[in-house]
Amino acid sequence: MVKYDLGENTWLQNLYSRRDKWVPAYLRSTFCAGMSTTQRSESMNKFFKDYVRSSTMVSDFVHQYEKAIDARYFKEKEKDVRTKSTRAIMKTPFKIEEEAAIVYTRKSFTIFQDELFNSLRYQARKLYVSGEAKTYGVTAHGKETPIYHVTLEGDEGHATCTCHK
């Protein structure tokens, strides 16, 4: 607003002050893994906090950055070893769960497993097919509403849902 000399525009100021109400509507179709801009920024701050300070000189930043990357790489390798040396406990009889236990780190697998297990509470039925797109109605078992419409776009593997998740 300052750049375009709109600081005196009361309508824009009012709109800007209520941005938390309308901005999410424009971002519903953008996948951010549930993270807000603030969360992404905080994540980066957390990543660098042990390596870089506000007083760090630019010449030291590169060295500290490399140390941070090395530390992250080491932690990932530790998690890989832990994942490969232990067996996850399965909650379902599905092969996809077993496959996920092999390829995901334990933490990622736990998230996947919880989602898979919770998905068993829902039922889907094909509503219609339009070309390559298939639309399903999804409801919780034993309930008729709410019904979510999930559309799968052919070979692209792109899915949209009326729940906007």
pLDDT above 90 (res 116) = yes
Taking alpha carbons only, the member of 10, 46, 78, 75 closest to residue 35 is 46
- Looking at the whole model, is its pTM more than 0.85? no
Q: How many beta carbons lie within 10 A of that of residue 105, not counting itself?
A: 15
**Contact of 118 with 141, CB cutoff 8 Å:** no
pLDDT in tens, 55-108: 888 878 888 888 888 988 998 888 888 877 888 999 999 999 999 998 888 888
pLDDT on residue 111: 94
Retrieve residue 70's tokens.
Answer: 């090395």
Residue with tokens 């000189």: 57
pLDDT in tens, 15-53: 788 777 766 666 666 666 566 667 766 777 777 777 788
Residue with tokens 């094909």: 126
Mean pLDDT of 128-142: 90
